[in-house]
Structure formats: C-alpha cells, structure tokens
Structure 1
Amino acid sequence: MSDRAPTTSTVAIDHCVLPVASLAVARERYEALGFTVAPDALHPFGTGNACIFFADGTYLEPLAVCDRTAYRDALSDQNSFILRDKSFRQTQGNEGFSALALKTDDARADHERFLLSGNSAGAPVEFARPLKGPDGSTGEARFRLAFSAPAGTGGFCFTCQRLHRSAMGGGTSSRHGNGVSGLLSVSVKVGDLETAQIYFSKLACVPAIGTETGAVVRFRNCAVHLEQDPAMPDSDEIRFDAVTFSCADPGKLRQILTRSNIVWQERNGAIHIPTAPGQGATFIFKENDHEA
C-alpha cells in the first residue's frame, strides 16, 4: 500500500450558486446558450432559482431575490445563506458566482468540522421548498446546509444534505441542446494562494497540487483551480470566476451561439463565453475527453 496522500478527493461538488438580478433574464440567457432550464422554484427565505441540471449529478443555480419581505425577515433571523447572499450582492453586485456547494450525508457534522477549523460561516440552515416537474406534477424537497468561508466577504462554500425529495413524474431534463453533460472545473481568484490552498484542501480532504498559474484541488467529480489575483493582495477572500463544462459536440454549440448572437472566443481548443446579464461567471466549454 502506498504511503502517498491521495490527490483526488472522495468529496463531490454538488452545484454552483450564481446570483442574478432576474430569473427571467437568466432563463433567457441560459436557453440562448443551449441549456434546458428547470421550472422556477421559490425558497421560504425569499430567494428563488431556475436550475440547470446535468447528467453527472451537478447543477447550476441561478439565484434571484423574489420575495423581498421574506428576504428581509430571513436577514433579521440571521439566516446564514441569506446573510452571505446579501453580503455578496452588496460587495460584488447582483450578478456573479457566489458559492460552491458540496455533497454531504451529514451537514451537522460538517458544521462542527468547520467550527473546529475556524472557517465556519454561520449556523446551519434547514428548509423545504416545493418542486414542480416538467409534466406539472408537484412535490417537496428538504435540505440541510452547513457553511464555510475563509473570509467574511466574497465567495463561500457550503455542504448540502438532501433530507427528503418527493417522487414525481416526468423528471427534470438533464439533456441539453448544446451537448453539455456536466462540470469539468471551477476557477477561483484568490488573494493569498497559500491560505486558499489550505482552505480548499481541508474541504476536499486532499492536498492541493501546484500548477504554473497557482494550484488545483481535485474533488471527486470536478477540479477547483486557484489563481492568485494581484488585485487582491494579502486577502483571504475568494472570488469564483469561471465554470468549465464537458461538451460532447462543440460544433453544435457553435451553431447555437451563432444563431443566438452570443459573443464567444475560441482559445486552446475551448469555447469561452464572457459574463453577461443573467450569466455571472465566464463559461468555458471543452470536449468530453479534455482534462479539467
């Protein structure tokens, strides 16, 4: 048996949280990019989403403030998710990439671990929200979240435990016209590379690996690339910057982008799409057999 530490984690990425000013604008943007977008869903604390689910079990969560009264009440109640969302919108704007969620079977244990590491970002949150399937069927999903962050502002992470999900007919489509099947990697701008490496290594339970531009931490299903940003000197803050997707048919994607008048560039065999209203992160598309 090897004494070397593993370099690929058993911890998996669950989803990316992408704040938007409007779910309607986000839906229009994602559909123009060739994604299938799930029906809008509302949270009890005032936010709502219009998710994009992938065959690999990950998803994107465009997130908007939909009920300002419930949102204000959640702030008054010190809801950790809403406190971080509010902080992000105040400092970074209403469009961006605020958080990375990890899969877990025990968010309570994760919270205790975050407290011990000094990276807790608030009390756990448990909630239920209604579900609506493409066939019109309804149900309920219940979640428990535990929060972590290396700094008081900027990006954050949380673990997401699914406590219950009603069975529904129709299912949510994870098939997309642009050929995307899942996430390959997430890119993060950091102020202090060493601090960021330690932080993400603790989340993934594997060491970071140095690269020419920074470091990479390999979660079970997705790589997290860390790049030092000269504009963030001596800062523990993290800023999620880009998402790279696995794409089966770049040719089909190019046709969709051209038809939708989407601005894009091709660099090193990958298609790069800059941020736009409804899309708060740079999107990069690589063929399925490319390394993250």
Structure 2
Amino acid sequence: MAPLLDHLVIDVRDRMAAGAARLAALGFQLTPLGRHSLGSANHLAVLGEDYLELLGTDVPGGPLRPDIAADPVGLNGLVFKTDAAEALSAALLARGVPALPAQSFHRPVELPDGGRGEARFRTVRLDRAAAFDGRLYWCEHLTPQHVWRPEWQRHPNGACAIARVLLAARDPQRQAAMFRRIHGAAAVQAGEDGRVVLPCGPVQVEIAPHAAVAAELGEAAPDPAGRGDHLVLVALRVTALADTVALLRSRGIAVDSTPTGLRVPAEPALNAVVDFIA
C-alpha cells in the first residue's frame, strides 16, 4: 500500500474565523464554510491533488466533535488517499494494524450553477494510541468533483501542491515501525540527523527527533501544547516564489528565508509553520 497524501488537517477548535482569516492573509483562497454531518465545520484550501483543511466549529465556545475535542490548535491530521475504505480497514486489521471501522459522512455544497449538492466521504482512522499525538487516517472521496473544483484551486500566493510535511518525534524509529506495518518495510527510508522519511508520491513526510526540529525551526516552531510526537510544518510548492514573497510582504506577513524558499513562523491562529518553495 504505497502511501499518497490526501490532505492535512489544521485544527482551529472554536476559532474558525481567526484561522480562516490567517490562511486568507497568507494568500490562500478558501472554500465556503462547510458543515459535516458529524457535527464539525471546515474550510478548505484546495490544491492540485491535495488540500489543507481547517477543522473545528464555527460557533465560538461551541462543542467540538468528540474525536477532535482533545486536539489543540495546530497541525494535527495526516490523511492518506484510499479508493476502498472498507476493504482497507479489513486489510489493515489483518496486518495487525489497529484500524477502526470505515465511517461515512457528508456535507452540503453549493454547485456552480447555484444548485445544491453533497460532498460524501468514507474514512478509516488509526487508533490514536498507535499513532502520533494527532490523527492518522485515510479518506475515500465518493464525490471528488465537489472538492477539486477549478475555481477553488487558484490561490493568490500561487500554491499548487503540498511538498513536505514535518513531524517532530521523541523516537522517530517508533513512528517508522508504525508506517512499515501499514505500508510495508520498503516504504520508510533513512534520512539525515536521525530522521526517517516516508515518500508519499510527490510529498515527503519526514519524522525527525525533537532536537533536529528545534535546530531547523528555532523560534519559528509551533507551541507543542502538550503534544509529544506532533506535526509541526507543511511546505507548499508555488508557481512563482518571487510573486509569493512580494504578496506576503505587501500584506505585512513576517517571513524568514530558508535554503529552499521562505518560512512563515507559527502563530496562534494556526500554530503551524508554513513554508513556501519553488
């Protein structure tokens, strides 16, 4: 089961408006607010083959879905693609991977012609005790045409794809062992500075020791907020890096230079580092 990234989840709890305003300031075009049949709300920044999801509730002080209620603001969800959720759940269980049964849900969408449609999904989640401090799951899109719409894929910052995901881990080898059980022994590669790498098609998921993450991110790093093994960074590929730099600076967004592009340090609305690379 070679992994392919579907999307990343940034939990915003009951601060949906603040999270959406921050992503918009960073140059992302967001989908209209969606409300899941599970009781949560979201906005998406839809890219070419993947997307970022802001997840929480749009009611200030309102209740959160039980499975996300413990997650702090930040990058907490790593989501892979599947085209057969129920079969995947059975296959994972057969391999000794603690997967939960497939779950179906939906949310309404407004169609380009003004009519109403329904985006429908089936997901398979990994038991939280077996993963990092967050959620690892697979998403089967039953109606992908209601997610990847051209009018939602054009972003002022030029973002077109997720390129890199960074997870800080106390013991990267523990996380590597989990990914090997899921995807096979050859799926995980050794990296530098004690890192392990899970290639996901065009996306590279890196699991790095805390010390290596601290050395790379410094003061730009997000607040762990009680998390041990946790997602800290997403890097987005853009069509023209110079244009992205100009846009962010024109909006007064503080950025740092990196060897591959630019970095927006974590701040309270998202609590995640966002990189832009060519």
Q: TM-score normalized by structure 2? A: 0.83
Query: Could you tell me which residue of structure 2 aligns to residue 175 of structure 1?
Result: 154
Q: Which residue among 36, 39, 44 is the counterpart of 1:43?
A: 36
Letter in 2 for 1:19: D
The CA distance in 2 between the partners of 1:285 and 1:86, in whole Å, is: 30
For the 8 Å contact 2:4–2:200, the answer to whether it is kept is yes
**What is the root-mean-square deviation of aligned Cα atoms in Å?**
2.8
Query: Could you tell me which residue of structure 1 aligns to residue 177 of structure 2?
Result: 198
The CA distance in 1 between the partners of 2:247 and 2:151, in whole Å, is: 22
Q: Which residue among 32, 49, 52 is the counterpart of 1:60?
A: 52
- Please, which runs of 5 or more residues in structure 2 have no aligned partner? 213-226
Q: Which residue among 192, 200, 209 is the counterpart of 1:212?
A: 192
Query: Could you tell me which residue of structure 2 aligns to residue 225 of structure 1?
Result: 206
Q: Which residue among 67, 88, 100 is the counterpart of 1:84?
A: 67
Q: What is the number of equivalent residue pairs in this alignment?
A: 259
Letter in 2 for 1:252: D
The CA distance in 1 between the partners of 2:114 and 2:169, in whole Å, is: 43
The CA distance in 2 between the partners of 1:167 and 1:58, in whole Å, is: 13
CA 280–113 in structure 1, closer or farther in 2 if over 3 Å, else same: farther
Query: Could you tell me which residue of structure 1 aligns to residue 221 of structure 2?
Result: none
Q: TM-score normalized by structure 1? A: 0.79
CA 69–34 in structure 1, closer or farther in 2 if over 3 Å, else same: closer
SS of 1:98's equivalent in the other structure is: strand
Query: Could you tell me which residue of structure 2 aligns to residue 15 of structure 1?
Result: 7
The CA distance in 1 between the partners of 2:242 and 2:150, in whole Å, is: 28
Q: Which residue among 260, 263, 268 is the counterpart of 1:277?
A: 268
The CA distance in 2 between the partners of 1:101 and 1:174, in whole Å, is: 19
1:52, CA displacement in angstroms? 0.3
The CA distance in 2 between the partners of 1:218 and 1:46, in whole Å, is: 33
CA 182–157 in structure 1, closer or farther in 2 if over 3 Å, else same: same
Q: Deviations over 1:123-166 (max 9, x none)?
A: 43211210124664421011111011563671221111122467
Query: Could you tell me which residue of structure 2 aligns to residue 143 of structure 1?
Result: 121
Alignment pair present for 1:160 and 2:139: yes
Q: Deviations over 1:101-126 (max 9, x none)?
A: 11101111222233344443544321
1:270, CA displacement in angstroms? 1.7
1:253, CA displacement in angstroms? 1.1
For the 8 Å contact 1:46–1:66, the answer to whether it is kept is no
What pairs up with 1:258-269 in 2 under 5 angstroms? 258-269=249-260
Letter in 1 for 2:197: V
Letter in 1 for 2:200: F
Alignment pair present for 1:242 and 2:228: no
Query: Could you tell me which residue of structure 2 aligns to residue 255 of structure 1?
Result: 246
1:223, CA displacement in angstroms? 1.0
Query: Could you tell me which residue of structure 1 aligns to residue 76 of structure 2?
Result: 98
